[in-house]
Amino acid sequence: MGVKYMMKTYVDSFDEEKFKQFLHYIIHATSSLENVGRTVLFKILYFIDFNYYELFEEKLTGESYRKRQHGPVPSNFNRVIKELKAEKKLKEIKKKYKEYNQQKYISLIEPNISTLSAKELDFINKNISIYSNFNATQISEYSHQDMPYAATKDLGEIIDYELVFYRDPIFSVREYNND
């Protein structure tokens, strides 16, 4: 017996400027952490966006995430990173982390956070403190077990935010009444 759920339709809910500030803020907060390269960054973004949606039933950035082999990947990441690099707000470096090649982003200036509320920043900071402790392998494996990713059938497919309401308790950030 499969899980039944109602899919909501979203029309242009992506807020590019907010995502750009969100991304730069997270890079700024994690630049000094050796383990946070591109893969870990992707998953931090995913978990913050999806956890926010589960808790508040509204999208934080409206970014869409695609199912990829190593876990969820933000759809607009490459374009927005390119803009941030062109604006000299961050740089990309390639280095070794343990035995792995790592792409890492370093913030060069204090991020503009004018589109992020105090409530959002508090939520973001709490989630950064949780997910920035994982290495790439750990967080990829962890993300594969999260219901939104696991229930998305095909690689490349957009992951539905509504699937957060079917998470296992270990992933859930919300308490549900079983009435």
pLDDT of residue 33: 95
Centre a 10 Å sphere on the Cβ of residue 173 and count the other Cβ atoms it contains.
Answer: 18
The fraction of the chain above a pLDDT of 90, given in percent, is 86
Name residues whose C-beta falls within 8 Å of residue 12's C-beta, 6 or more positions apart in sequence. Answer: none
pLDDT of residue 11: 44
β-bridge mates for residue 102, sequence order: 95
Cα angle 131, 134, 136; round to 5: 115
Alpha-carbon distance 134 to 49, whole Å? 17
Helices within 31-163 (DSSP H only): 38-56, 77-86, 118-131, 136-145, 147-151
Record the pTM: 0.91
Average pLDDT in the chain = 93
Q: Which band of pLDDT confidence, cut at 50, 70 and 90, is reported for residue 121?
A: very high
Place of tokens 């390119």: 82
Alpha-carbon distance 155 to 133, whole Å? 26
**Under a CB-based contact definition with an 8 Å cutoff, are residues 109 and 89 in contact?**
yes
- SS3 state of residue 91: strand
